[in-house]
Amino acid sequence: MRGTHRRPGGRARRCAAISAAVAIGLVATACSSSSHSTVSGVSPAQSRAAASASAKARAAALARAHAAALARDLKITPVNGNHDASPSDDITVTAVGKLTHVSVHTSGDAVYGSLAADGKSWHSRGHLDISQSYTVVATGTAPSGEKITKTSTFRTLTPAQTFSTEIFEGYQQSYGVGMPIMLTFSQPITNKAAVERSFELTTSKPVIGAWYWDGDQHLYFRPRDYWPAYTEVTLSSHLDGIEGATGVYGARNLSQTFEIGRSLIAVASTTAHKTLIYLNGKLTYQWPISTGRASEPTPDGTYLSIEKANPVRMIGGGPKGSPGYYDELVNFAVRFTWSGDYYHSAPWSVVDQGSTNVSHGCVNLPPTGAKIYYKLSIPGDPITITASTAAGKWDDGWTPWFLPWSQLVSGSATGEAVEAGPQGSTFVSSSSLPASTASAPVGTPASGNSGAGTVSLG
């Protein structure tokens, strides 16, 4: 059937052609669609912003890394965030390059320090306060020449135990030329050298002296020779933060100003039966006296006037009703031992004064002389008893002048003497000091009459 005959494969070829065209159209459509629609919902502008942010983040990270690398060129201790830094430790700043400036900010005592000669380190001076916040700001340059700034904020520890310090001398009070500075601590001190070095003396006239420990809670400063008359003395300290004993820290500083007044020195001879009174270096009065009888001798030694009263009730001599018992009101009495020895008026022994020792240990004076001495006397005036059959006892009164100079220095925990003046004080080797030119009895006690033979060194 010719009219219905079909060429083999023609339909298949057309179908294939149509399929190919459709496929091409689909590809074209896909290509065309990619230029007009979004990918995952991100527009080109957003893509560019994201790329910019990523670049900035990378730059910031690089900057931080560079800053951290630079910061490592500066080191501050105590480190930032420390809450229990030791007050005994210095603040230190070190640099790989150079330090240009260091400042310390605090509401407590000001902190000072010094830069090393090579410009690579800075150290604070002295102790820090307890329970105090500090902010250290250091600037410098890295080896590359770039500027660096670093900050450390820290706080010192709050100790479980503290100690306080009291001074005997009163503010702007006047004392005699023999007066020691007398300090008492509320807790025993074992780190004695550090405590000594926390004190500074400023004196209106040059003074050489030394610190002396009498046990663990009492500290004296005594000049080598008597203080120069009319000297103003200021004692200052940085005890806050000092570790006086293990775990025991000073809680506050101490400062006091007082003055040394005119020079008044009394010397009494138990054998010559007279006392010499030197006022401002000149022998001004000589009075006959009667000192302790043979059974109650007035003890040798250089003492200091402690207190005075008019009158003073004196009771002693044994039990009440015994032959030696006495109970008397005594006028114009100046005390120089705790055991009860005084310079005082004794009208009842005037007949014996100048020739015989009849007292119970006091120095009996004629009433007129006793009144003069009483009016002149202030605490710390030297009183020296000589030629007695009895030596004085350490701590029976204010007895630092019982100590010869070498023994006084050996009682310092530093083993050094102190030179003081208008600019402050320094510790020095006693062997480096010039020899004393003071003469006895107006400048220093007579040699060998200190009572040192009976001194107990605590």
Specify whether 344 is catalytic.
yes
The identity of residue 353, as a single letter, is Q
127, 238, 273, 362: which one is catalytic? 362
83, 238, 344, 360: which one is catalytic? 344
- Full 3-state SS string of the chain: CHHHCCCCCHHHHHHHHHHHHHHHHHHHHHHHHHCCCCECCECHHHHHHHHHHHHHHHHHHHHHHHHHHHHCCEEEECCCCCCCECCCCCCEEEECCEEEEEEEECCCCCCCEEECCCCCEEEECCCCCCCCEEEEEEEEECCCCCEEEEEEEEEECCCCEEECEEECCCCCCEECCCCCEEEEECCCCCCHHHHHHCEEEEECCCEEEEEEECCCCEEEEEECCCCCCCEEEEEEECCCCCEEECCEEECCCCEEEEEECCCEEEEEECCCCEEEEEECCEEEEEEECECECCCCCCCEEEEECCEEECCEEEEECCCCCCCCCEEEEECCEEECCCCCCEEEECHHHCCCCCCCCCECCCEEECHHHHHHHHHHCCCCCEEEEECCCCECCCCCCCCHHHCCHHHHHHCCCCCCEEEEECCEEEEECHHHCCCCCCCCCCCCCCCCCCCHHHCCCC
Residue 288 · residue 379 · CB < 8 Å: no
Instruction: Give me the count of residues in the chain.
Output: 458
Pairing status of strand 248-250 against strand 161-163: parallel
Specify whether 362 is catalytic.
yes
* Cα–Cα distance measured from residue 447 to residue 439, given in angstroms and rounded to the nearest whole number: 10
Q: Which residues are catalytic?
A: 344, 362
